[in-house]
Structure 1
Amino acid sequence: MSSLVIRSLRKNYGAHEVLKGVDLEAQEGEFIALVGPSGCGKSTLLSMIAGLETVTSGEIRIGGRLVNSVPPKDRDIAMVFQSYALYPTMTARENITFGMESRGVPKAERDAAVKRVAALLQIEALLGRKPGQLSGGQRQRVAMGRALVRDPKLFLFDEPLSNLDAKLRVEMRTEIKKLHHRVGKTTIYVTHDQVEAMTLASRIAVMHRGELQQFAEPHVTYNRPTNMFVAGFMGSPSMNFIPAQLTRADDRVAVTFPLADGGSAVLPLATDVAAERIGRAVVLGVRPEHLSRYDAEIHARKPGIATLSAPVEVVEPTGAETIAVLRFGALEVVGRFEPDSAPRMGERIRLGVDMTRACLFDPETQRLI
């Protein structure tokens, strides 16, 4: 059964169209991440699901019920905000139970709910403290506790980790994933952080300029992006885009593009999927981790590896890996290397390119071929 169904959803502010006919469906228990750059419409979409923004046209159904005109308090949802939105003069316990008290829930039932949620979030020792006495991560746990005591049909998260430092963000990401597995509620999670989306979501909805670009499982979104926007947005460093031409080489379809030394690279494709486009321009998409220092013994056992040489312009060690900027003709291409095989600045390196993982895009439509 679908917990959330969105059909042809539009939102206008005067003449400005923020959402342009979004269709999205979340199954019972799914974790859906809404991602995209600032201004793409993801937070507006979440606010419309919550009832905080009105619908210009289209439908929102929660648990099969049309909720376009239903007030937020009657939608059976719970929302966790970026800013925590805790009452500073109340203790953590009082913040968690405030909504239940307002609805007239008996004290015994409130106490049982707080006990259950506090154990789930491991905040039993924090219940007597006020928000000013809590760290950012502890405040976010309390905010999540306030949502959990509702036992709603739908959980909505609006960039809940963006105010935390990097280390705490990773820890809280793990906690949210554990929490979802334990509770099993349908969750819609807005984030600008693609790593959060990849690690948390069962499916990712990528948005751009008010339109849904792709809605798929994380591995599909990453490995088979529907267009160049999705390919460039998902992944850090982002996918390399290399203008090229489709040719034939040794009876195989290949991509050809100029190199820095005045020569050309000819990289055979792993399949003949685009054979009908021979002689036409394409854009070759290669992720940084699919470039490696060529090793004849290793790569001979791996099908679909093409080779070329390129000078190294910049090297950026990060500890677990090394990022290198390589020169492909007029283009700078980024590669991600193991520290033991990392290139040196100024070196000319022979590369192995995993063409089984490469993507081809139409330069006019920017869509995946």
Structure 2
Amino acid sequence: MSSLTIRNLRKNFGAVEVLKGINIEAKAGEFIALVGPSGCGKSTLLAMIAGLETVSSGEIRIGERLVNSVAPKDRDIAMVFQSYALYPTMTVRENITFGMESRGVPKPQRDEAVKRVAALLQIEPLLNRKPGQLSGGQRQRVAMGRALVRDPKLFLFDEPLSNLDAKLRVDMRTEIKKLHHRVGKTTIYVTHDQVEAMTLASRIAVMHQGQVQQFDEPQAVYDRPANMFVAGFMGSPAMNFIPAEITTDADGRPAVAFRAAGGGTATLALQEGVAGRIAGRNVILGVRPEHIFRYSPELKSSKPSVAKVDAPVEMVEPTGAETIGFMRFGELEVVGRFDPDEAPRMGETIPLGIDMSHACLFDPATKTLI
């Protein structure tokens, strides 16, 4: 196994700078997800790691080896593409062994490698079929088998599940996670799907406009996003952002005040010590939908951090396991998650509980976490 180190990496296409000083370090055996919207630079970064794009400046090291000018075939990496890239006229066995045959690997070694990988991916019955006879998930397994058979230092995945339907994506996500636990290879995984990133990765690099906005463990990225972009991108439905002001409540405790429905002001108490240094400042209050729910006195007694505010319900979306509610806060619409048994009805005004222990405060000017 090898580590991957990226230092101050930049990429220009003419006058356009698409990567702006990327710094990422993957420990040996780690699973790193590069996540972000289309056009953020994540696939370009992966192509540079693979050697398919040149480096404008900065360093890429696989282990201790600087690979900036090393040809792709000599980097000892394996890449799984979005499109599978299988040869349609070859059988599964031939697709898996083609690269080994090209490198002059003896047939007994090829056969042993195919046997090992086919058992690992549970594709033994498919070895004599051609890609046109396989489902999308089976083709993806074959593409992974072709990568695994090389026993590389580094695995690169470029949005490998984006062509699959929703159920198959979940199944293959589980397969990839199991596979990583079995082989333990350093893996860099590009996706625009934040659920994939959260469930698969040991650490996530959230990218936007050619820069890494935050690089941390999945739960840390979700709970303490570095800025409003990360907070809004990670999570579905997205975090609610409410313009507010740091103030005090009726008991003199630090609180945030914002415009409530009907033109009044709602004041929600913050955790002690949170707002002392920013008293009187305007802020953006960030609250995730799962921390907005129907309020009850019993809930307040068990969770002192829960604050109450009344809000009219504009729309509800039942999803089976939960109900998504859209409520009115002043001129804003906020989203909450509700247990189906306590789901609100359209048009009613309900008491909402907001768990302020999980609230985030952002600077309105810099958009960064305070």
Give the TM-score range, shorter chain. over 0.9
1:304: which partner in 2? 305
Instruction: Measure, in 1, the Cα distance between the counterparts of 2:272 and 2:57.
Output: 44
Instruction: Measure, in 1, the Cα distance between the counterparts of 2:234 and 2:189.
Output: 16
1:360: which partner in 2? 361
Q: Identity, % of aligned pairs?
A: 78
Tell me the SS of whatever aligns to 1:212.
Answer: strand
Tell me the SS of whatever aligns to 2:137.
Answer: helix
1:342 partner amino acid: A
1:233 partner amino acid: F
Confirm or deny: 8 A CA contact 2:247 2:257 kept in the other structure: yes
Shift of 1:163: 0.1
Shift of 1:272: 2.1
1:286: which partner in 2? 287
Cα distance change on mapping 1:100 and 1:2 into 2, 3 Å = closer
Instruction: Measure, in 2, the Cα distance between the counterparts of 1:273 and 1:203.
Output: 27
Shift of 1:273: 2.1
1:62: which partner in 2? 62
> Could you report, residue by residue, the CA deviation over 1:143-165 in whole angstroms, capped at 9, with x for unpaired residues?
00000001011000000000000
Shift of 1:274: 2.4
Tell me the SS of whatever aligns to 1:150.
Answer: coil
> Could you report, residue by residue, the CA deviation over 1:44-82 in whole angstroms, capped at 9, with x for unpaired residues?
000000000000000000011000000000001000000
1:235: which partner in 2? 235
Instruction: Measure, in 2, the Cα distance between the counterparts of 1:60 and 1:319.
Output: 46
1:316: which partner in 2? 317
Tell me the SS of whatever aligns to 2:247.
Answer: strand
1:336: which partner in 2? 337
Instruction: Measure, in 2, the Cα distance between the counterparts of 1:2 and 1:287.
Output: 37
Confirm or deny: 8 A CA contact 2:310 2:352 kept in the other structure: yes
Instruction: Measure, in 1, the Cα distance between the counterparts of 2:64 and 2:82.
Output: 28
Confirm or deny: 8 A CA contact 2:32 2:188 kept in the other structure: yes
Confirm or deny: 8 A CA contact 1:2 1:25 kept in the other structure: no
> Could you report, residue by residue, the CA deviation over 1:334-364 in whole angstroms, capped at 9, with x for unpaired residues?
1111111110000101011000000000000
Confirm or deny: 8 A CA contact 2:241 2:287 kept in the other structure: yes
Instruction: Measure, in 1, the Cα distance between the counterparts of 2:297 and 2:182.
Output: 47
Tell me the SS of whatever aligns to 2:277.
Answer: helix
Which runs of structure 2 are paired with 1:70-219 in the superposition (5 Å)? 70-219=70-219
2:10 partner amino acid: R
Shift of 1:263: 1.3
Instruction: Measure, in 2, the Cα distance between the counterparts of 1:258 and 1:59.
Output: 49
2:289 partner amino acid: P
Instruction: Measure, in 2, the Cα distance between the counterparts of 1:317 and 1:213.
Output: 33
> Could you report, residue by residue, the CA deviation over 1:230-289 in whole angstroms, capped at 9, with x for unpaired residues?
000000000000000000122211000011112111000013222121111000000000
Shift of 1:2: 6.1
Identify which range, 207-216 or 292-301, moves more after superposition.
Answer: 292-301
Tell me the SS of whatever aligns to 1:93.
Answer: helix
2:273: which partner in 1? 272
Instruction: Measure, in 2, the Cα distance between the counterparts of 1:256 and 1:297.
Output: 24
- Runs (4 or more) in structure 1 with deviation over 6 Å come to none
Cα distance change on mapping 1:129 and 1:2 into 2, 3 Å = closer
Matched positions, count: 369
Confirm or deny: 8 A CA contact 1:252 1:272 kept in the other structure: no
Confirm or deny: 8 A CA contact 1:324 1:335 kept in the other structure: yes
2:188 partner amino acid: I
CA RMSD of aligned residues (A): 0.8
Instruction: Measure, in 2, the Cα distance between the counterparts of 1:19 and 1:303.
Output: 45
1:273 partner amino acid: V
1:7: which partner in 2? 7
Confirm or deny: 8 A CA contact 2:2 2:154 kept in the other structure: no
Instruction: Measure, in 2, the Cα distance between the counterparts of 1:193 and 1:276.
Output: 37
2:317 partner amino acid: E
1:27: which partner in 2? 27
